[in-house]
Amino acid sequence: MSGFACKAYGPVVDSLLEKVGPMPLDAGTPDAAAGERLRPLTPADLLAGQPVADADATRACLSALWLRLGFLDESHRLSQGIATPEGSFWHAIMHRREGDYANAKYWFRRVGDHAVFAALRQGAEGAALMGDDPAAGAIAAQAAWDPFAFVDLCETFVAAGKADDRLWCQVQRLEWDLLFDHCWRAATGAGRATP
């Protein structure tokens, strides 16, 4: 479902993501061991010697890693200081996972129509068509990715005690993968991913 390939982002990032588990729809449990490895790193350290082409995108990558490893507060501290659509996007995902759904929607409004939405809608549609969840039909029928509908869906599943629902965790993982790749390409100057 996802185009994310570990071993594509250099030794620092790849080693952090190598054994990371699934990312639940709620706050989940932080990966303490990975967090200790991430804690001393600066945004520039993530690039392992490559020049930083975009400082905000590099900080967004660090925020994303904190979020992926389950450290919502650390991710929040970084993302709230990044005044770009990507900073707002990570900020929105963090609030969605912590259960502050109204605040997540506020930050998604600040994102606007993001470049990864088309690929996200396409990937979510493919995943939804393979699922037997009634909500999957609504996602599959979307003409364009609707982050607000996904926030509502996550809220419903978390409230029902299904924060680890396989289908919707896959969609959330695809969202993370696409946005991380987008930020990484900007951070390193490799250009934006083509959905």
Task: Identify the three-state secondary structure at position 136.
Answer: helix
Q: Tell me which DSSP letter residue 14 carries.
A: H
Q: Tell me which DSSP letter residue 161 carries.
A: T
Residue 36 lies in a domain: no
Residue 180 lies in a domain: yes
Residue 62 lies in a domain: yes
pLDDT at 194: 41
Return the HEC string of 46-61. HCCCCCCCCHHHHHHH
Residue 5 lies in a domain: no
Reading the chain (195 residues) residue by residue, the pLDDT tens digits are: 344 445 589 999 999 998 888 899 999 999 999 999 999 999 999 998 889 999 999 999 999 999 999 999 999 999 999 999 999 999 999 999 999 999 999 999 999 999 999 999 998 888 776 666 777 777 777 889 999 999 999 999 999 999 998 889 999 999 999 999 999 999 999 864 443
DSSP codes, 24-91:
-SS-----HHHHHHHTT--HHHHTTTS--S-HHHHHHHHHHHHHHTT-HHHHHHHHTT--SHHHHHHH
| Euclidean distance between CA atoms 62 and 109, whole angstroms | 22
Q: Which amino acid is at 158?
A: V
Model pTM score: 0.92
Q: Which amino acid is at 63?
A: S
Residue 97 lies in a domain: yes
Domain hosting 74: range is 50-188
Short-list 130, 95, 88, CA closest to 109: 88
Residue 30 lies in a domain: no
Q: Which two tokens stand for residue 72?
A: 């919502």
Q: How many domains does the chain have?
A: 1
Residue 43 lies in a domain: no
pLDDT at 40: 96
Short-list 135, 46, 150, 41, CA closest to 95: 150
Residue 160 lies in a domain: yes
